Amino acid sequence: MNIQPSVVVWTVICFLLLTVILKNLLFTPVLKILDSRKEKIDAAEKKLRDIENITAENEKRLTAEKQRAEAESIAQAKARVHQIQSQGKKEIETARRKCLSDIEEYRKDITGEYDKIVFSVAPKMETAAAIFAKNIISYRI
């Protein structure tokens, strides 16, 4: 069993070429997609925290209004509480719908980006794999 320098050199060259091709065509786009997905998820989580803060603020306002309403007449207090609750519910529902629509939009964008990368990388990988296999087979025989 002899070590053939030409086979070693070609094997190293093919390996390096495959590494460069995979890095440029696969790993870099996938990492970009993952980074953009993380940024979108972070943005959605921030919006969720904002909604929770709005909810907490609305609950604090509601509690304060309830305490103040006790000093006033019962009829006026009930009317105010109902008004504040409906306004808070509307704000929360509006913010929740916006957040859910943003999340759905981000999901669609991510799916589209994934499909684009898969369709752009797949044909190139077949060609690269064929060339690589051809080189290995031709040097082994």
Q: Report the chain's mean pLDDT, rounded to a whole number.
A: 86
Please tell me the total count of domains within the chain. Answer: 1
- From residue 26, alpha-carbon distances to 22, 29, 47, 109, 116 in Å are 5, 6, 32, 19, 12
Instruction: For residues 57 and 59, give the distance between their C-alpha atoms in angstroms, rounded to a whole number.
Output: 5
Model's pTM, two decimal places?
0.37
pLDDT tens across 14-49, in order? 999 999 999 999 999 999 999 999 999 999 999 999
Domain range enclosing 115? 5-140
In this predicted model, what pLDDT tens digit does every residue of 64-99 receive, in sequence order? 887 766 666 666 656 777 898 999 889 989 988 998
Distance CA 94, CA 84 (A): 15
